[in-house]
Amino acid sequence: MEFVQQLLEWYGKNARELPWRSDTSAYKTWISEIMLQQTQVEMVIPYFNRWMDQFPDIYALASADEQAVLSAWEGLGYYSRARNLHRAAQYVVQTFGGQLPRSSELLKSLPGIGDYTAGAIASIAFGEDVPAVDGNVRRVLARYFDVSLPARSHAGAQELWRLAEAHLPPGRAGDYNQALMELGALICRPKNPLCSTCPIAEGCRAYLFDLQALRPVTTRGKKTPHLTVTAAVIRRGDQVLLAQRPPDALLGSLWEFPGGTLEESDADLSACLQREIQEELGVAINVGQAFGRYRHAYSHFKITLHAFLCSLSPGVEPQPLEGQNLAWVKIETLPDYPMGKVDRQIARRLIGEDDNEALPG
DNA sequence: TACCCGTGGTA
DNA sequence: TTACCAAGGGT
């Protein structure tokens, strides 16, 4: 059976013990697969364990507040995954009586489940004979079969799915898919693959031709822009002002210290902050002393954020001009509001934790 | 289709 | 420092 028998044998001996592998229930498999999207195993493990304590089944998830779901997700990134998970749970409870659909095709109808995740859940939890091609599988197959089409192109993806399906051992799709992924993660790594210990190196064309570094074929990404942004820590007594971000934006539905991007027309950082607050909240703020400089890389751009302690003149009340939720929050309750990394650093500094997180200057 | 969407690790 | 990568999906 070509390389598949060797692959399955290797997987049987070398599979890592992971929290979601001891019980391949549909719910646990689903949660783990969503968390694992674009996220490494070591990062997911503690989140998965906490999640199962907090939302042990689909009913607990469906009935939870979105804010609690986002807080459980805080730090994992790609927050639409959490919002989609929450929506999908409610949909499954309402439409399917709490039972996740058992077929790959139906699973794809749920928000947040695409081709890969549908194949993974259907094969691992329900035993359906369907492939699941993720970044690991793309790399393993592109090397083993020396696929020269760009892996992320339409034609390349089609070819890789075809290869995955063509070699799928009936009745063992779950192990087969996971074995390919495990091999990609542990042996057939993007850089410095461990070909000397690879169980299928013998038949690997990339190994034969020494093309490992050129497979899979990738295309150049564009350069990431670097923006300068400002944020206002507007204090009033023991409270501070938070704004909730739009649901479909970057860091959607998370809370932040209001502010925005420095523009050419801004004379300086203070002018930028005053303009942004005027636009978003309809008020003039008094910009006080600097409260830290933070660098951060998002998925497709980088920022340097300058935070400032600010105040409002007596009687001035901020307005949600862009339809956003606003909240005056006591400092000690800041941990209750889900935030992205930079805003969380600011919040922690306000509380008095991690006094040295901000960069000098 | 290309672009948007987080964060942490690595070379 | 920068670029790339990680169990991708939505639009």
Give pLDDT tens digits along chain A (361 positions). Answer: 589 999 999 999 999 999 999 999 999 999 999 999 999 999 999 999 999 999 999 999 999 999 999 999 999 999 999 999 999 999 999 999 999 999 999 999 999 999 999 999 999 999 999 999 999 999 999 999 999 999 988 999 999 999 999 999 999 999 999 999 999 999 999 999 999 999 999 999 999 999 999 999 988 778 889 999 999 999 999 999 999 999 999 999 999 999 999 999 999 999 999 999 999 999 999 999 999 999 999 999 999 999 999 999 999 999 999 989 999 999 999 999 999 999 999 999 999 986 455 565 5
pLDDT at A354: 64
A252 CB and strand B closer than 7 A: yes
pLDDT at A220: 78
- Protein-to-nucleotide distance from the CA of A301 to the C1' of C6, whole angstroms: 18
**Which of A29, A27, A48 lies closest to A117 in space, CA to CA?**
A29
What is the percent of chain A where pLDDT is above 70?
Answer: 98
- Protein-to-nucleotide distance from the CA of A40 to the C1' of B9, whole angstroms: 10
pLDDT at A145: 96
State the catalytic residues of A: 33
Interatomic CA distance for residues A74 and A357, integer angstroms: 18
Cβ-contact A160, A141 below 8 angstroms: yes
A296 CB and strand B closer than 7 A: yes
- The nucleotide closest to A84 (CA, C1' atoms): C9
pLDDT in tens, A313-333: 999 999 999 989 999 999 999
- The nucleotide closest to A218 (CA, C1' atoms): C4
A113 CB and strand C closer than 7 A: yes
- Protein-to-nucleotide distance from the CA of A190 to the C1' of B10, whole angstroms: 11
A175 CB and strand C closer than 7 A: no
- Protein-to-nucleotide distance from the CA of A347 to the C1' of B1, whole angstroms: 40
Q: Which nucleotides of B are covered by protein (CB under 7 A)?
A: 1-11
- Tokens 């692959």 appear where? A7
Interatomic CA distance for residues A337 and A207, integer angstroms: 50
A217 CB and strand C closer than 7 A: no
Interatomic CA distance for residues A64 and A66, integer angstroms: 6
Angle between helices A115-126 and A173-186 (to 10 degrees): 120
- Protein-to-nucleotide distance from the CA of A93 to the C1' of C2, whole angstroms: 46
CB atoms within 10 A of CB A22: 8
pLDDT in tens, A22-55: 999 999 999 999 999 999 999 999 999 999 999 9
A78 CB and strand B closer than 7 A: yes
Interatomic CA distance for residues A272 and A274, integer angstroms: 6
Backbone angles phi, psi at A312, to 5 degrees: -110, 145
pLDDT in tens, A91-136: 999 999 999 999 999 999 999 999 999 999 999 999 999 999 999 9
What is the helix (H) or strand (E) element at residue A206, kind and residue range? helix A205-209
What ranges do the domains of chain A cover? 2-214, 226-351
A37 CB and strand C closer than 7 A: yes
Of residues 304 to 343 in chain A, which lie within 7 A of strand B by their beta carbon?
340-342
pLDDT at A358: 58
Cβ-contact A230, A291 below 8 angstroms: no
CB atoms within 10 A of CB A239: 14
- Protein-to-nucleotide distance from the CA of A157 to the C1' of C1, whole angstroms: 33
**Which of A349, A231, A343 lies closest to A287 in space, CA to CA?**
A231
* Rg of chain A (C-alpha set): 24
Q: Which residue is nearest to nucleotide B8 (CA to C1')?
A: A43
A192 CB and strand B closer than 7 A: yes
pLDDT at A152: 87
Architecture of domain A2-214: Orthogonal Bundle (1.10)
A359 CB and strand C closer than 7 A: no
> Which CATH fold topology does A226-351 show?
Nucleoside Triphosphate Pyrophosphohydrolase (3.90.79)
